[in-house]
């Protein structure tokens, strides 16, 4: 495992000079804000358009990183030094990502110890640490997901070890690092409530089956445990939000964290249900024009132009935030009721993934990067059964591919494609091998065709599109194709997983 | 440790048991997914190449003359726009073409494809010093493309020939370490050149020789010469080997004639567009062998530069004398190895012969560039499993000797990273060795380390602005000389006979 760490760190350092998105400047700005300004101004400062919109723990994390920044280049810490990116600044910020990922490294080591040192866990641990999603989003695009997922993984490991309080504590802390993990909170809530706060009353069953006892319906509510759990969570939130409550800044803080003024879809549609919905609308527009329907005129042009505006539909009904909320909640409740009835660890993991899924597929203004919420926890169960492996392959391929447009420069194209291919080539045969089944037998011919389609799509968007239409023409088309095609794969994975979970066949 | 000793220990490769590369492949064996090994190796090495390619190239944003990148781009530009007759004559002050015709044809092909994508990249005269992210990406892609169709397959075939019968592990480890050899990666994909084409065709020639396809091999070697005249560094060894084979093989005379015809025909075809007039062909030779440029230009870690610190040769002798001096020195130093190879033309000796011969060229010949160390570095790298320690030292010193060049081009970080990556994967830090060797190794590394620290922290004294470069030259040259002697000694003492490889084959059948 140390070898993996050393080699991957060398590779990541090689990419220091590669493309970085505006998120790089976002985080530089946050370094500057947290370092140079008193806490009371953190959530008010708006010199840069990239205001602080992560919860307080993340701000403290930035503050911690900023203490080391003067060693590299102190100028990056000036709030008004916008878009500052000296060589040392870039190196420093890239290094903070690589170093903070040690939390993830530690987490996978612990995962391997607590889940058993079987070969399959070695593969899974390695596959998470070297996940192409992290390479693309963290080391090129620039974010700190490796660090955050490290905390999540620690929390899951604690859950596996039945140290519920610690697990809940870690998850509460994680929420205060980045609130996107709220998507997963329902699964945590239900599982902790049922597995920790309800104590099963041992009833002698006739066959004495151990599993039955674990989720026997005869259980007693333990108020002590509930208070302990509640207190843990409350303390975490109090530490995080307390100073801002004291300063009366909570409304301002919340308005930063939850900006509801954005549209349904992000500029580039995340591969979710709404991408399919919007795609269907586009198709209907074309059909409608042929048949002479009356169309919502101001919607016609808005689909691809408005960067962060409302998405309007010309044919299909409009979608509001409340609709997405209702659908998301329903999609989460379905797996959660099963978790409530059978609170096993495996069901918890599946529910966790399905909660992430529900929010990703049906949520409001979802970013494509959120696909990691599904991919990373799912890795943990990838080799449980053949059906899981099948879903994992489809999801990983389409999910990682949907991240490709984040790096739109030609120079990084080989980097992301080769890395993803290598990753798939190492991980998939190994996982198939641990299930004692040939890789071929896992996938249906149609599913294989879908994967081949991804390759064809990559060639089209990369080469053929420019050849056919010329540079700079119809630039939205490849992006639309990618998000719709990958949305198909992601939705398919969700349906399979949901069905298998509910039937108990997975 | 000798090979037989290793086999007693039951270790399949001469590298340490827990070298990361070793452990990685053993893991695949355990998991029965070994079929992925060659693919992963190739993909991994491509990844490293592309990652290095993200860095600046030679002459990046440095007008007025830019650098080697501009030279290559300019050749693509001029070959697609001008008639062949003008290729070696057009505005020679601006990176005039000074490589043999195959480079010109290759530039023409790349230029055609490139200007099909975007004509502005290669517009005649207008595009001088043209730099854009997309054109850079295209140029980088051409290097990777040619490397993937010539050099990389050549390495895979080479390892198959040498180690194919000795289990999968050895073969794959050799392939991984040869492909990740840092010097070639950093020069071709960082600095920007097409050395891999010359080295790849040479390696194909070696492969053919090993499979006893001598005519085909000499064809490949002619291509190599036709691509870059630097392949001449290998020529005496190749010639001696083939001549020796002609004497050893039955039907030697027929083989000799076949080889002669192949060479003449290959060069005939390569040079054919220029053969119509004496003037044209002379112009090609004049451009390819620019003797007027002097004994040495930059500070290179060869003998002449090192001696120059004490004795100013260029001022002492005139041009003709220095040419003669270097010629005599080169020939004399390579004679022992070449004659020995001619008398005992075996496969393994060929490798050592190539090392020694190209080393004597590098150390003693006329007009050597620091990048020319890549030529000895190729056969040296091929010996990685035979001489892990020597190869490791050699390549690290080679990287070190190119550092001043790489620093000028802002490639310091990748310089360190690819070197560390290669050393780490091979687990060189875990090789067991005798005390003397260990001492020698630690002295070398201490010197390199101290040099790097001093160079980055203490500015050189005003009177000696090139102090660090000169120290680098002296140290590297000393190491190279030792390596030269060592490989000569190894070649002469090599326990190898022509049947060694066939023996292995029989054993495993």
Residues of chain A in contact with residue B33, where contact means CB-CB under 8 angstroms, are: 429-430, 433
The pLDDT assigned to B14 comes to 64
The pLDDT assigned to B402 comes to 93
Least confident stretch, A22-26, A472-476, B137-141, B164-168 = A472-476
Q: Is A412 on the interface with B (CB under 8 A)?
A: yes
The pLDDT assigned to A296 comes to 62
Q: Is B429 on the interface with A (CB under 8 A)?
A: no
Summarised one tens digit per residue, pLDDT across range A294-314 is 666 555 555 444 333 456 677
Residues of chain A in contact with residue B119, where contact means CB-CB under 8 angstroms, are: none
The pLDDT assigned to A438 comes to 84
Q: Tell me which chain B residue has its CA closest to the CA of residue A467.
A: B117
Task: Burial-class residue A49 by CB neighbours within 10 Å (0-12, 13-18, 19+).
Answer: exposed
Rounded mean pLDDT of B338-348? 91
Rounded mean pLDDT of A447-470? 86
Residue B411 has pLDDT above 50, yes or no: yes
Give the closest-approach CA distance of B43 to chain A in angstroms.
6
The pLDDT assigned to A318 comes to 79
Summarised one tens digit per residue, pLDDT across range B189-217 is 999 999 999 999 999 999 999 999 999 99
Tokens representing residue B429 in the block: 């830090």
Residue A212 has pLDDT above 60, yes or no: no
Rounded mean pLDDT of A344-350? 90
Q: Where among A231, A257, A283 does a domain terminate?
A: A257
Q: Please give the mean pLDDT across all residues of chain B.
A: 87
Of B293, B295, B273, B297, residue with least CA distance to B284? B273
Residue A263 covered by a domain: no
Residue A136 has pLDDT above 50, yes or no: yes
Residue B31 has pLDDT above 80, yes or no: no
Neighbours of A258 (CB within 10 A): 11
Q: From CA A460, how far away is CA A468, in angstroms rounded?
A: 10
The pLDDT assigned to B60 comes to 85
Residue B94 covered by a domain: no
Summarised one tens digit per residue, pLDDT across range B165-190 is 887 888 899 999 999 999 999 999 99
Residue B279 covered by a domain: yes
Residues of chain A in contact with residue B141, where contact means CB-CB under 8 angstroms, are: 414
Maximum mean pLDDT: which of A166-175, B244-253, B385-394: A166-175
A42 and A124 part of one domain: yes
Closest in B35, B51, B55 to A11, CB measured = B51
Residue A235 has pLDDT above 90, yes or no: yes
Give the closest-approach CA distance of A249 to chain B in angstroms.
45
Residue A221 has pLDDT above 90, yes or no: no
A422, B32: Cβ pair inside 8 Å? no
Q: Is B1 on the interface with A (CB under 8 A)?
A: no
Closest in B52, B413, B421 to A7, CB measured = B421
Rounded mean pLDDT of A261-288? 79
Residue A202 has pLDDT above 60, yes or no: no
Q: Tell me which chain B residue has its CA closest to the CA of residue A122.
A: B27
Least confident stretch, A469-473, B39-43, B50-54, B458-462 = A469-473
Give the closest-approach CA distance of A17 to chain B in angstroms.
7
Q: Tell me which chain A residue has its CA closest to the CA of residue B18.
A: A3
Q: Tell me which chain A residue has its CA closest to the CA of residue B27.
A: A119
Strands A219-221 and A198-200: antiparallel
A286 and A240 part of one domain: no
Residue B509 has pLDDT above 60, yes or no: no
Q: From CA B52, how far away is CA B411, in angstroms rounded?
A: 9
A237 and A386 part of one domain: no
More confident residue, B423 or A476: B423
The pLDDT assigned to B8 comes to 35
* Residue B162: domain span: 6-61+131-494
A-interface mutation test, from B29, B31, B140, most A Cβ less than 10 A away: B31
Summarised one tens digit per residue, pLDDT across range A165-185 is 999 999 999 999 998 999 999
Q: What kind and span of H or E run contains A144?
A: none
Q: Tell me which chain A residue has its CA closest to the CA of residue B144.
A: A414
Residues of chain B in contact with residue A14, where contact means CB-CB under 8 angstroms, are: 48, 51-52, 54, 413-414, 417-418
A227 and A342 part of one domain: no
Give the single-character DSSP code of A201.
Answer: P
Cβ–Cβ < 8 Å for B441, B433: yes
A73 and A162 part of one domain: yes
More confident residue, A419 or B281: A419
Rounded mean pLDDT of A364-390? 90
Residue A67 has pLDDT above 80, yes or no: yes
B417, A425: Cβ pair inside 8 Å? no
Residue A424 covered by a domain: yes
A251 and A314 part of one domain: no
pLDDT band at residue A213 under the 50/70/90 scheme: very low
The pLDDT assigned to B294 comes to 66
Residue A134 covered by a domain: yes
Residue A182 covered by a domain: yes
Q: Tell me which chain B residue has its CA closest to the CA of residue A15.
A: B51
- Residue listed under structure tokens 């000797």: B401
Rounded mean pLDDT of B25-46? 87
Q: From CA A73, how far away is CA A63, in angstroms rounded?
A: 15
Q: From the centroid of its chain, how far is CA A198?
A: 30
pLDDT band at residue B7 under the 50/70/90 scheme: very low
Residue A268 covered by a domain: no
Q: Where among A229, A257, A285 does a domain terminate?
A: A257
> Number of structural domains, chain B?
1
The pLDDT assigned to A376 comes to 94
The pLDDT assigned to B500 comes to 45
DSSP string, B329-384: HHHHHHHHHHHHHHHS--HHHHHHHHHHHHHHHHHHSSS--GGGGHHHHHHHHHTT
A422, B413: Cβ pair inside 8 Å? no
A422, B47: Cβ pair inside 8 Å? yes
List all residues 6 or more positions away from B275 whose beta carbon is below 8 Å from its beta carbon: B268, B281
Q: How many interchain CB pairs under 8 A, A with B?
A: 85
* Residue A281: domain span: 273-503
Q: From CA B78, how far away is CA B92, in angstroms rounded?
A: 11
Q: Tell me which chain A residue has its CA closest to the CA of residue B413.
A: A14
A-interface mutation test, from B37, B50, B147, B419, most A Cβ less than 10 A away: B50
A120 and A162 part of one domain: yes
The pLDDT assigned to A464 comes to 82
Residue B244 has pLDDT above 90, yes or no: yes
Rounded mean pLDDT of A212-240? 79
- Give the pTM: 0.90
Of B310, B297, B357, B309, residue with least CA distance to B330? B357
Q: From CA B434, how far away is CA A455, in angstroms rounded?
A: 52
A6, B424: Cβ pair inside 8 Å? yes
Q: Is A420 on the interface with B (CB under 8 A)?
A: no
Residue A107 covered by a domain: yes
Residue A379 covered by a domain: yes
Residue B21 covered by a domain: yes
| Residue B493: cis peptide before it, omega within 30 degrees of 0 | no
Four-CA torsion B170, B175, B177, B183, nearest 10 degrees: 150
The pLDDT assigned to A439 comes to 83
The pLDDT assigned to A210 comes to 46
The pLDDT assigned to B498 comes to 45
Residue B30 has pLDDT above 50, yes or no: yes
Residue A316 has pLDDT above 50, yes or no: yes
Residue B433 covered by a domain: yes
pLDDT band at residue A118 under the 50/70/90 scheme: confident
A13, B140: Cβ pair inside 8 Å? no
pLDDT band at residue A469 under the 50/70/90 scheme: confident
Give the closest-approach CA distance of B417 to chain A in angstroms.
6
The pLDDT assigned to B142 comes to 95
The pLDDT assigned to B338 comes to 94
Window 283-322 of A: residues touching B by CB (8 A cutoff) are none
- Determine what percent of chain B is predicted with pLDDT higher than 90: 55
Q: Tell me which chain A residue has its CA closest to the CA of residue B45.
A: A418
B133, A411: Cβ pair inside 8 Å? yes
Residue B123 covered by a domain: no
Q: From CA B348, how far away is CA B237, in angstroms rounded?
A: 13
A106 and A196 part of one domain: yes
Closest in B47, B53, B137 to A419, CB measured = B47
A299 and A161 part of one domain: no
Residue B83 covered by a domain: no
Residue B259 has pLDDT above 80, yes or no: yes
Q: From CA A181, how far away is CA A178, in angstroms rounded?
A: 7
Q: How far is CA A224 from CA A172, A228, A488, B95, in A?
A: 19, 6, 46, 82
A129 and A231 part of one domain: yes
More confident residue, A291 or B295: A291
Give the single-character DSSP code of B61.
Answer: T
Q: From CA B130, how far away is CA B110, in angstroms rounded?
A: 16
Rounded mean pLDDT of B302-308? 84
Residue B419 covered by a domain: yes
Residue A150 covered by a domain: yes
DSSP string, A56-77: HHHHHHHHHHHHHHHHHHGGGG
Least confident stretch, A45-59, A129-143, A469-483, B168-182 = A469-483
Residue B227 covered by a domain: yes
């Amino acid at each position: 495992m140390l070898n993996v760490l050393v080699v991957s760190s060398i590779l990541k350092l090689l990419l220091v000079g590669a493309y970085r998105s505006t998120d790089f400047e976002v985080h530089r700005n946050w370094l500057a804000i947290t370092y140079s300004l008193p806490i009371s101004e953190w959530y008010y400062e708006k010199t840069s358009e990239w205001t602080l919109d992560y919860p307080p723990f993340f701000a403290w994390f930035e503050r911690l990183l900023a203490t080391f920044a003067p060693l590299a280049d102190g100028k990056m810490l000036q709030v008004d030094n916008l878009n500052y990116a000296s060589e040392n600044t870039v190196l420093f910020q890239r290094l903070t990502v690589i170093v903070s990922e040690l939390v993830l490294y530690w987490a996978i080591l612990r995962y391997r110890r607590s889940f058993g040192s079987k070969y399959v866990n070695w593969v899974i641990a390695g596959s998470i640490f070297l996940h192409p999603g992290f390479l693309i989003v963290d080391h090129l695009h620039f974010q700190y997901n490796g660090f955050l997922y490290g905390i999540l993984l620690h929390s899951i490991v604690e859950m596996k070890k039945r140290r519920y309080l610690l697990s809940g504590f870690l998850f509460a802390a994680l929420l205060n690092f980045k609130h996107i993990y709220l998507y997963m909170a329902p699964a945590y809530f239900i599982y902790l409530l049922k597995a920790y706060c309800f104590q099963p009353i041992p009833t002698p069953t006739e066959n004495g089956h151990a599993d039955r006892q674990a989720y026997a319906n005869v259980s007693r509510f333990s108020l002590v445990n509930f208070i302990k759990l509640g207190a843990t969570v409350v303390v975490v939130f109090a530490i995080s939000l307390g100073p801002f409550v004291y300063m009366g800044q909570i409304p301002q803080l919340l308005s930063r964290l939850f900006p509801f003024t954005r549209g349904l879809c992000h500029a580039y549609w995340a591969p979710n249900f709404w991408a399919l919905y919007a795609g269907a609308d586009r198709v209907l527009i074309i059909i409608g024009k042929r048949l002479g329907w009356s169309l919502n005129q101001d919607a016609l042009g808005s689909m691809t132009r408005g960067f962060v505006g409302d998405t309007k539909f010309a044919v299909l009904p409009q979608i509001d935030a409340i609709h997405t909320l209702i659908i998301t909640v329903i999609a989460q409740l379905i797996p959660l009721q099963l978790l409530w009835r059978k609170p096993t660890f495996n069901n918890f993991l599946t529910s966790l993934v399905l909660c992430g899924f529900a929010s990703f597929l049906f949520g409001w203004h979802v970013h494509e990067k959120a696909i990691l919420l599904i991919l990373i926890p799912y890795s943990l169960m990838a080799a449980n059964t053949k059906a899981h492996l099948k879903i994992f392959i489809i999801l990983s391929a389409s999910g990682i591919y949907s991240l490709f447009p984040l790096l739109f420069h030609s120079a990084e194209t080989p980097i992301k494609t080769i890395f993803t291919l290598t990753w798939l080539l190492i991980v998939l045969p190994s996982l198939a091998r641990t299930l004692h089944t040939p890789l071929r037998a896992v996938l249906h011919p149609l599913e294989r065709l879908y994967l081949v389609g991804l390759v064809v799509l990559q060639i089209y968007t990369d080469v053929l599109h420019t050849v056919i239409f010329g540079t700079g023409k119809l630039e939205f088309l490849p992006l639309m194709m990618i998000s719709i095609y990958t949305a198909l794969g992601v939705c398919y994975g969700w349906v399979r997983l949901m069905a298998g979970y509910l039937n108990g066949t997975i | 440790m000798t090979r037989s000793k290793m086999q007693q220990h039951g270790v399949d490769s001469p590298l340490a048991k827990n070298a990361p590369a070793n452990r990685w492949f053993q893991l695949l064996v355990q998991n029965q997914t070994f079929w992925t090994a060659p693919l992963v190796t190739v993909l991994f090495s491509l990844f490293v190449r592309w990652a290095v390619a993200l860095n600046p190239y030679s002459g990046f944003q440095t007008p007025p003359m830019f650098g080697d990148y501009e030279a290559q781009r300019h050749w693509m530009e001029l070959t697609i726009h001008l008639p062949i007759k003008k290729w070696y004559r057009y505005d020679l002050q601006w990176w005039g073409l000074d490589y043999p015709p195959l480079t010109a044809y290759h530039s023409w092909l790349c230029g055609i494809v490139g200007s099909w994508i975007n004509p502005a990249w290669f517009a005649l005269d207008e595009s001088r010093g043209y730099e854009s992210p997309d054109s850079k990406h295209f140029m980088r892609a051409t290097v990777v493309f040619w490397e993937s169709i010539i050099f990389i397959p050549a390495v895979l075939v080479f390892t198959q020939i040498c180690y194919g019968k000795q289990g999968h592990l050895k073969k794959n480890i050799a392939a991984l370490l040869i492909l990740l050899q840092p010097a070639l990666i950093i020069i071709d994909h960082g600095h920007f050149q097409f050395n891999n084409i010359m080295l790849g065709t040479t390696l194909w020639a070696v492969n053919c020789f090993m499979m006893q396809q001598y005519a085909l091999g000499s064809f490949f070697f002619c291509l190599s010469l036709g691509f870059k005249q630097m392949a001449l560094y290998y020529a005496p060894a190749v010639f001696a080997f083939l001549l020796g084979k002609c004497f050893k093989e039955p039907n030697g005379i027929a083989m000799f004639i076949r080889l002669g015809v192949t060479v003449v025909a290959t060069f005939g075809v390569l040079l054919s567009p220029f053969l119509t007039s004496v003037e044209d062909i002379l112009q090609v030779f004049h451009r390819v062998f620019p003797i007027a440029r002097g004994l040495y230009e930059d500070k290179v870690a060869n003998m002449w530069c090192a001696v120059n610190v004490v004795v100013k040769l260029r001022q002492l002798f005139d041009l003709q004398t220095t040419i003669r001096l270097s010629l005599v020195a080169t020939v004399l130093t390579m004679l022992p190895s070449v004659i020995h190879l001619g008398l005992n033309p075996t496969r393994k000796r060929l490798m050592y012969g190539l090392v020694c011969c190209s080393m004597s060229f590098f150390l003693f010949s006329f007009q050597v560039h620091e990048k020319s160390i890549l030529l000895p570095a190729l056969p040296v790298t091929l010996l990685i499993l035979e001489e892990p320690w020597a190869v490791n030292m050699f390549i690290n010193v080679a990287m070190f000797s190119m550092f001043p060049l790489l620093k000028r081009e802002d490639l310091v970080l990748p310089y360190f990273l690819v070197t560390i990556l290669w050393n780490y994967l091979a687990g060189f830090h875990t090789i067991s060795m005798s005390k003397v060797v260990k001492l020698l190794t630690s002295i070398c590394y201490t010197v390199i380390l101290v040099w790097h620290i001093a160079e980055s922290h203490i500015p050189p004294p005003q009177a000696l602005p090139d102090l660090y470069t000169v120290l680098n030259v002296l140290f590297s040259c000393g190491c190279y000389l030792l390596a030269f002697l060592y490989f000569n000694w190894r070649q002469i003492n090599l326990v190898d006979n022509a049947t060694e490889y066939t023996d292995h084959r029989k054993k495993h059948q």
